[in-house]
Structures are given as structure tokens and as C-alpha cells.
Amino acid sequence: MKKTTFILFFLMFSTLAYSQFRGRETWVFSAGINVLDNSAFQDPLKGTEKWSFNTPFTFGAEYRFDEDFTISPMLSFNSVDEVYEDEAHGGRGIIEGGTYFSFDVNAKFYFDKYIAENDKIDAYVGLGAGYFNVADESNGSGNVALGLRYWFSSQWGLRLQSLAKFAFDDDKVYANNNFIHSLEVLYRF
């Protein structure tokens, strides 16, 4: 019964939130560069050692469906020079890397208006899921994002974002936990 009540409440709230925002949806497209940390730690928050900045391109889109919420697919490309395998767990130390490709879909919550009113700066946190491939090894991920957008005009802006990707299968050598930090040019219409 609690589950059914929760689902009905969620659907009702989502419908009301969407209908209140109807007619003011916006699209934002982005292109930029990224820096990848693919240290292959079991937990990417424990440290950063191996930074990659080879063919570092990021492309994305973002659709605002509510005053505070957006949905954002993103493509990222890079190349990993080398990967660290934990020798304490039977790894070989530093080994060669390969190409990196990532596709992510994240929901973002913009919280800046709850801190200070500012038309030029947008701050957000995000949660999502992704798929990535490193040196012909694939994995899925749960994502956590933190970012800022700065608008130079009503249409042009700049985004700085950090995306932590927590791999679903943490036994992979290459396709393990990683960070993608990106700087992107934004166009809104």
C-alpha cells in the first residue's frame, strides 16, 4: 500500500510540476573539452593520479522541463595513456591504456536560486547513469555531477562540470571508476 501511495503521489507531483512550467522549456547545447582521471581506484574520491587530455571532446544537450530540473545526455571522448592496476590485488602496476568513450544521461537540480538570486550563474547537482568504454573494455556507471554555468548573454554561456562515474562492475581493469572534468561553451534557445 505504501508503495502504491508513493507512486501515485510522485506521478501527481510530477504532473503538477510539469504543467506549471509548460511553455517555458529551454534547450541548451554544449561543446567543449574534458580532462579524464581514470586512475582505476575502487573509489574515485580517494585520489587522482592519471590525468588524460588526448582528443578531449565533450558534446551535450540539456532540456529544462521544470523550473529547477533538467535532463541532460552527454558524449565524451578522450584517450588513456596508461592505467594503474592495484598490485596488492594481483595487478601488474602501470599498463598501457587506449581510447575512451562515454555516454551519460543525468538529471540535474539547479539550486542556486535558494542560495542567492543571480541571473548569470546557475549552480547544480546531478544524478544519472552512463555507459563507457576504455581500451575495448565496457562498463556501466552511476553518476554524480556538480557544476556551474555562467551566462554572458541570454544565449551564450560557459559550463564547468565535474562528473564522478562509479562503475557497476568494479573488477574491470580499464573501465573502472573515473572522473570527467569538463569546460564547455553553451548555446541556449
Q: What percent of the chain has pLDDT over 90?
A: 46
Q: Give me 23's grid cell.
A: 511553455
> Could you list the mean pLDDT of each consecutive 10-residue stretch along the chain, which spans 189 residues?
47 48 72 86 58 89 94 93 56 67 96 87 96 88 96 95 89 77 95
Torsional sign, CA 73, 155, 116, 25: negative
Total residues belonging to the chain: 189
Q: Which pLDDT does position 110 carry in this prediction?
A: 95
Which pLDDT belongs to residue 24?
A: 54
User: How much is the pTM?
Assistant: 0.78
- pLDDT reported for residue 53: 83
Query: For 64-100, what is each residue's pLDDT tens digit?
Result: 999 899 999 999 999 887 655 555 445 555 556 688 9
Residue 130 in grid coordinates: 552512463
The matching CATH number, chosen from 2.60.40.2470, 3.30.70.2200, 2.60.120.560, 2.40.160.20, for 23-188 is 2.40.160.20
Task: Output the CA–CA distances (angstroms, integers) from residue 9 to 12, 14, 69, 108, in the order listed.
Answer: 5, 8, 18, 21
pLDDT of residue 91: 55
According to the model, what pLDDT value does residue 55 have?
Answer: 85
Is residue 52 within 8 Å of residue 79, measured between CB atoms? yes
**Which letter does DSSP use for residue 21 in this model?**
H
Q: What pLDDT is attached to residue 21?
A: 47
